[in-house]
Amino acid sequence: MEPVDAAAVDAAAQRLAGVVPATPLQRSERLSARVGGEVWLKREDLQVVRSYKVRGAYNLITQLPPEARSAGVVCASAGNHGQGVAYACRALGVRGRVYVPRTTPRQKRDRMAALGGDEVTVEVVGDSYDDAAAAACADAERTGAVLVPAFDDPRTIAGQGTVLREAVEQLGAPPDTVVLPVGGGGLLAGAVAWLGERSPSTRVVGVEPSGAPSMSAALAAGGPVVLDRLDSFVDGAAVRRAGDVTFPVVRDSGAVLLTVAEGRVCSEMLALYQSDGIIAEPAGALAAAALGDVVHPPPGSTTVVVLSGGNNDVSRYAEVVERALVHEGRKHYFLVEFPQEPGALRAFLDDVLGPDDDITLFEYVKRSNRETGPALVGIELGRPEDLPALLARMRAAPPSVEQVPPDSPLFRFLL
């Protein structure tokens, strides 16, 4: 197996030159103010396929000998890696098949087909990345096609590591801290391989979604393990098992692994869009979401944050807003037992709701054989700190009210 080191990343950068464009490194006024230092965004959302994944895919495929290229390539993807493979296949004239789970947004599937043109077909299988990975492996064994891993191959890792190499060159000096998203660990492994030799003073922080902490679990267990539960919302980083190749590189690097809540990611997606004019997918906003929440750079220091992708389906924004409001404490749900009598709802509105509160959901089922009827009520507050007063008014009101906590199974039907 090829080594994963700084020389491999440097060689990958030479292969990508002139084919995969360099992306901007931009100062973020908002994030700089949040942490009291200099925060620079590495804008991989502006990459040719709107994600850094093209770097690893191209670096691997371009090194294949002619006989391997003629057999074609196959890969599994949650969306962005497949686009990188599709772009590389079309650029190099190599046939490819991309397997994606049903959870992959349609926008990403359509982009794969458009980028790959006649060279690439997209196959939809299973409900998770791991289902797609199993199908891709079976395809490779059956047809002899070359498997292009999304993260667990030295060539993929080296290509992805060029993101940080490029950022440091653009900055002109080693940053104090680098914060980047983590799924299977390819970007993190490539980053620490290069930074460990070329910028050893830089602190590296990897950020995982709290519902898919595969690398943290691997570090705790001493090796890659399969997560029992997986929240696929941050689809670009929702990997059930860290890589066998990426794990030892990360383990030996001294990088810090942290997790951030999916709701916090949604809040950051909205902030990026509304304040900065940046369209980020959930995994793209993952690293930025951690700043000031779980990552606290020293005041006055310089931090590079990788904004890893911008392939977000506009149809997901309703869920993004909902998750953000719940996380921020501005959206709450209640089960209310209304008396079966005229004026019950009006009394609830008058006696319970505050002047800035709004009912956003009301599902009522009338029971003619009972004195009360249940209703599921969603309330959006003007400010999170208005909740105690609302709860006090609910306790004093005639209807019986039960708050639905965010960890309730009922929330699966709301989000």
Query: Which residues are designated catalytic?
Result: 53, 308
Six token digits for residue 315: 């149809």
Contact 397, 362 (CB under 8 A): no
d(CA 291, CA 34): 8
* Number of CB atoms found within 10 A of residue 62's CB: 18
Residue showing tokens 């003007």: 382
Indicate the SS3 state at residue 278.
coil
Q: Do the strands 96-100 and 120-124 form a parallel or antiparallel pair, or are they unpaired?
A: parallel
- The amino acid sitting at 325 is L
d(CA 320, CA 267): 8
d(CA 12, CA 62): 10
- Selection from 24, 14, 85 nearest residue 56 by Cα: 85
Six token digits for residue 270: 């909205």
Element (H, E) at 380: strand 372-380
- The amino acid sitting at 4 is V
Please state whether 76 falls in left (phi above 0), alpha (psi between -120 and 50) or beta.
beta
d(CA 23, CA 6): 20
d(CA 69, CA 321): 44
Q: Rg for the chain (alpha carbons), in Å?
A: 24
d(CA 253, CA 249): 6
- The sheet carrying 25-27 orders its strands as 25-27, 38-43, 302-307, 177-181, 203-209, 256-260
Contact 23, 44 (CB under 8 A): yes
CA distances from 314 to 83, 106, 195, 216, 319 (A): 18, 10, 35, 31, 10
- The amino acid sitting at 225 is V
